[in-house]
Amino acid sequence: MKDEHHHKSRFHDRAHAQEYDRKAAQSEIRGQLVAKLVAALELTGRERVLDLATGTGRVARPVAERLEGGKIVGMDEALAMLRVAEEQKEKEPIPGFVPAAGKAEAFPFRSGVFDRAFTVFALHHFGNAPLTAQEALRVLKPGGRFVVLDPVVWMDLDALDTRVRERVNEILRSGHGEHYHYYTTPEIRELLIAAGFRNVGSELASLPVDQEGMDGIPTGRHWLDVAEQLQSDPADLRRRFEERHFRYEKHGDKVRVRGNFYFALVSGEK
Count Cα neighbours of 194 within 13 Å in the Cβ-side half-sphere: 11
Distance in angstroms (rounded) separating the CA atoms of residues 23 and 18 = 9
Nearest to 33 by CA among 205, 184, 257: 205
Per-residue pLDDT tens digits for 130-189: 999 999 999 999 999 999 999 999 999 999 999 999 999 999 999 888 889 999 999 999
pLDDT band at 69 (very low <50, low <70, confident <90, very high): confident
Per-residue pLDDT tens digits for 82-104: 777 677 666 677 888 999 999 99
Residue 100: phi and psi, rounded to 5, are -150, 135
pLDDT of 110 over the 80 cut: yes
**What residues have CB less than 8 Å from 93, skipping those under 6 apart?**
none
Rounded to two decimals, what is the model's pTM? 0.89
Question: Which residue intervals of 11-128 are DSSP H helices?
Answer: 14-26, 28-41, 60-64, 79-91
Domains with residue ranges and CATH for the chain: 2-154+180-208+261-269 (3.40.50.150)
Q: How far is CA 50 from CA 140, 144, 191, 207, 236, in A?
A: 9, 11, 19, 27, 43
